[in-house]
A and B are shown apart, each in its own frame.
Chain A
Amino acid sequence: MTSRLAEQLALLPDYLGNHMVLTLTALALGIAISLPVGLMATRLRWLEWPVLTFAGVMQTVPALALLALMVPLLGRIGFTPALAGLILYSMFPVLRNTVTGVKGVDAAYVEAARAIGMTDRQLLWHVQLPLAAPVILAGIRIASVWVVGVATLSTPVGSPSLGNYIFSGLQTQNFTAVLVGVVAAAALAIVLDLLIRLIEIAISRRNRTLGLAATLGLALLALPALMPALAWSEGSSARPPVVIGAKTFTEQYILAELLKKRVRQGGYSVADLQSLGSTVVFDALKASRIDCYVDYSGTIWANHMKRQDHPGRQSVLRIMSDWLQERYGIVCIGSLGFENAYALAMRKDRAAALDVRTVGDLARHSRNLSVGGDYEFFIRPEWRALRENYRLNFSARRSFDSTLMYSAVQQGVVDVISAFTTDGRIPAFGLVLLRDDLEVLPPYDAVLLLSPKAASNPGLRQALEPLVGAISDEQMRRANMMVDVKRTSVRDAAEWLNTAVASKSR
């Protein structure tokens, strides 16, 4: 357990450093925008409603969606969209409290200020701002705590943060990682809040020393936040590391670990960018922000090529490879050998009782059965294809987090789920996959993709090529089960897979 903790803590400087850079930059810029705009809104009355409504709407958009929306909106991944989302998210409390604080200044003081001959500017600086300061700072404190929390959601848009612990930890049942992420985020929020609180006290007590100390504290907080950036710029003359990407599920974490191992063996330094959203990871590869990751032929076929036909497993692979090369300069090294497809799954005993072996069999009973899927399944073309071709008509439909749907079907919450064929929980939970007898679902070969930049690096390709065709469905399922069911660490599962691959190729 302690080695697990040590393993997680080793990642802390990177994740926390990135988290702090992001948080502090977003807060600084957010305040730099919101404070003057808020003050302006107290002057120009027509401005108040649109400004506060805009900021309020930004606040009601779920943070995960807000950050994710910044990616297509800005056409970029990583730090920029995360920063933009967080700035938008930080604005409301600062704006609201600035307006409320300034408006709340006793009218007697405002009249007194005017009566002794203050200009509007003098009124603002000498009277309104100092008297509204506690309320404004309260808004800044709220914003800072929110931003620290929401910044964990910048991981899926490609900006590493403490969210990496949480996303990967939750997916791979590594609660040590989740705990480290949560505790670090909470500690950061508390420290930030405390420092701003100290500034607040310093202002209200007019204590310059305390104010200076608190400001110094904030500066110290910003300093280590800049360290990774400095370290990177120093080391930038050396050969940059090969960056391995991963989406947000167990198989991806294991494969990323395996890729890292192989690339390292090839004499390269490696880095990773994990827990990326499914489209973000592809965008990152396109832009050579990552050098390599594993995707699935059917995903690229349907989501990026927008094709709904499927001419067979090998043809899909070939056409997809050509398309990637032509369109983006992305190189498909080849299939890893296994397929992680969508398939409908049921509990063995239920399937036996209903005498269901294929999806075709299921159609007869679907009226009395309920179906569960991951969040995206029911809006994917695969679902439509299944429903239309087999005339499925389930009595109820429910969406789950993909880690939970296997338990849901095991416990009888739903009767059928949209499983991933390599998931380790299928054998572990006594589930059976129903055969797609009409071949409605496209193939999902796991394919090794290289970014346009990495494609010109023959050594890297050489290091990864032995993995082509090396992993069977069974092996991948077993590695996934080690993590998802037996709670082995991702690293150990990757190590097992690496050994299994090596012994086979020998």
Chain B
Amino acid sequence: MDEFDDVDKTWLSTSSIVPPLPVGARKMIRLEDVSKVFGETVRAVDRVSFTVERGELMVLVGESGSGKTTTLKMINRLIEPTGGRVFVAGRETRLQDPVLLRRNVGYVFQKIGLFPHMTVARNVGIVLALDGSRNQSSVSRRVDEVLELVGLDPILYRDRYPKELSGGQQQRVGVARALAAKPAVVLMDEPFGALDAITRSRLQKEYLRLHKSLGLTTLMVTHDLTEAFLLGDRVAVMKDGRLLQLDSPAQLVRFPADAYVESLLETTLSQLTRLEAIAAKLRTS
């Protein structure tokens, strides 16, 4: 697969804060000139190419309408690309049964999307039950295992219904569901966006820990640059369907590729500075 290894070298991270990738690492997600045109003229995603390496946590950041979520959904074919090619774990997705592809890709939503008529255990276990290959006791063992991974005591939580859980607990279940089938890659669509600041911060840290300890490959979408910098090994900035820059946070700060990236950084930083100033003033007064 020559073309697959023919990585666009300019996108490769050179930052020192990103651990060097092992030699010969598998390219877990790869997009080649992927486009999505809705109708005849609306170009939601415009010739986007990037690679997510095994073990990497990459973040797609951009404002709403930038095409970041569309890009994410084209990876597990929730949205079909109108141009270009997508590979997951080295196999072109267009040539796979989308159902089987999705069973091999974990997915976490902002809206969480837990089924209200199923218990926590059923919500997580259904992913394992869909292909009918596992028996009930192995499903239930795996459910308990992933619930513990995301910090929920199976004894307390497995028989509850989603509406009996807090937002944070629900999203823990959402993560557990995504991890249950030991997927090759995990896609996250603004996973912590709907949570309050404290819960969000806690879940971010815990997810980072899981990502590292389990050796996951994650592609996350967010509009929050702070989150992107906190979690991302590399950050891709998108605007109007185009990928403006893909770099480590350090490179982004040092060498913003264009005025938009720069202003995005500036705005975020100035907000923090202003918050700091207000807080300082309030403390002294």
Q: Which residues of A contact B (CB under 8 A)?
A: 108-109, 111-119, 122, 126-127, 130-131, 206
Contact = CB atoms under 8 A, between A and B. Distances in A.
- The 10 A-B pairs of least Cβ separation, nearest first, read A112-B113, A117-B103, A117-B102, A115-B107, A108-B111, A130-B117, A116-B127, A108-B113, A117-B99, A119-B99
A131 B117 contact: yes
Contacts of B101: 117
A118 B130 contact: yes
A43 B171 CA distance: 31
Interface in B86-121: 99-104, 107, 109, 111, 113-117
Given A116-B177, A117-B99, A111 B117 contact: no
Interface in B248-281: none
Contacts of A119: 99, 130
A112 to B, nearest CB: 3
A206 B115 CA distance: 14
Contacts of B12: none
Contacts of A126: 115, 126
A119 B101 CA distance: 12
A130 B117 CA distance: 7
Interface in B110-154: 111, 113-117, 126-127, 130-131
Contacts of B117: 130-131, 206
Nearest to B174: A112
Chain A contact residues, majority secondary structure: helix
A497 B116 CA distance: 71
A109 B130 contact: no
Interface string B49-77: 00000000000000000000000000010
A116 B78 contact: no
A260 to B, nearest CB: 58
Contact of A111 (B99, B100, B113, B131): B113
A110 to B, nearest CB: 9
B102 A112 contact: no
A115 B75 CA distance: 11
Contacts of A109: 113, 115-116
Interface string B148-163: 0000000000000000
Given A115-B76, A115-B109, 13 more contacts: A108-B111, A109-B116, A116-B102, A116-B103, A116-B130, A116-B177, A117-B127, A117-B130, A117-B131, A118-B130, A127-B115, A130-B117, A131-B115
Contacts of A122: 130
B126 to A, nearest CB: 7
A126 B76 CA distance: 21
Contacts of B104: 117
Nearest to B108: A115
Contacts of A111: 78, 109, 113
